[in-house]
């Protein structure tokens, strides 16, 4: 049951992590998140990080947490929840989930640029676990993560990422297959 609880808890982060890819073709907020600033000849984050991605990622996480909160009154979801959503500031927690996921991803991109790894080029396992680490850091104050929880989340993130990347590739949303 703990495994389902952890997956349910992380659902907003999973969705926030996928949201930028899903809205990538929209022509709004298409500004680089690093404002084209360079450090030693390389962009801070790279061309794939946009304000649009941050905004839609955070809004997606807030919407998912809102839905989780609405479902919390149903006994199944109450039993399946790590948190008491009736006592949770939904907006704040959704923001922390979304921002944490995107911050983790952006921090990884920053490091990739310093290592001269091209934007979009694979960097296993960091491409798959970056957002999980960000979420854990930003929600630590609200969620009691046990060491086994963290290990489970870090081990399952690559499997989920590869699965959803393959689905995105098959649907024509992603250009490259992992």
- Is 70 in contact with 97 (CB distance < 8 Å)? no
Cα–Cα distance measured from residue 102 to residue 16, given in angstroms and rounded to the nearest whole number: 7
Helix axes 51-71, 2-22, angle to 10 degrees: 150
The domain containing residue 46 runs over which residues?
2-170
- Is 68 in contact with 88 (CB distance < 8 Å)? no
Task: Read off the pLDDT of residues 94-141 as tens digits, 9 standing for 90 and up.
Answer: 999 999 999 999 999 999 999 999 877 889 899 899 999 999 999 999
Please report which confidence band the pLDDT of residue 177 belongs to, taking 50, 70 and 90 as the band edges.
low
Cα–Cα distance measured from residue 175 to residue 165, given in angstroms and rounded to the nearest whole number: 10
Residue 175 lies inside a defined structural domain of this protein: no
Residue 162 lies inside a defined structural domain of this protein: yes
Residue 166 lies inside a defined structural domain of this protein: yes
Residue 135 lies inside a defined structural domain of this protein: yes
Residue 178 lies inside a defined structural domain of this protein: no
Q: How many domains does the chain have?
A: 1
Cα–Cα distance measured from residue 127 to residue 145, given in angstroms and rounded to the nearest whole number: 22
Q: How many CB atoms lie within 10 A of CB 159?
A: 10
Please report which confidence band the pLDDT of residue 165 belongs to, taking 50, 70 and 90 as the band edges.
confident
Q: How many CB atoms lie within 10 A of CB 76?
A: 8
* Residue among 109, 170, 123, 135 at smallest CA distance from 15: 135
Helix axes 126-139, 2-22, angle to 10 degrees: 110
The pLDDT of residue 176 is above 70? no
Residue spans of alpha helices (H) in 72-119: 75-79, 90-114
Residue 176 lies inside a defined structural domain of this protein: no
Residue 85 lies inside a defined structural domain of this protein: yes
Task: Read off the pLDDT of residues 8-17 as tens digits, 9 standing for 90 and up.
Answer: 999 999 999 9
Cα–Cα distance measured from residue 167 to residue 125, given in angstroms and rounded to the nearest whole number: 19
Cα–Cα distance measured from residue 133 to residue 10, given in angstroms and rounded to the nearest whole number: 11
Residue 106 lies inside a defined structural domain of this protein: yes
């Amino acid at each position: 049951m703990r495994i389902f609880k952890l997956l349910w808890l992380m659902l907003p982060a999973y969705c926030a992590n996928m949201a930028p890819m899903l809205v990538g073709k929209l022509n709004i907020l298409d500004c680089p998140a690093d404002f084209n600033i360079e450090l030693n000849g390389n962009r801070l984050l790279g061309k794939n990080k946009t304000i649009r991605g941050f905004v839609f990622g955070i809004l997606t996480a807030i919407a998912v947490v809102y839905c989780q909160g609405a479902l919390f009154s149903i006994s199944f979801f109450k039993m399946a929840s790590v948190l008491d959503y009736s006592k949770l500031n939904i907006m704040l927690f959704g923001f922390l989930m979304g921002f944490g996921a995107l911050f983790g991803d952006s921090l990884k991109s920053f490091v990739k640029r310093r290592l001269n790894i091209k934007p979009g080029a694979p960097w296993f396992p960091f491409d798959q676990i970056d957002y999980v680490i960000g979420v854990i850091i930003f929600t630590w104050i609200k969620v009691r993560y046990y060491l086994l929880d963290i290990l489970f989340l870090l081990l399952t993130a690559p499997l989920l990422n590869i699965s959803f990347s393959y689905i995105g590739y098959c649907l024509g949303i992603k250009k490259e297959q992992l």
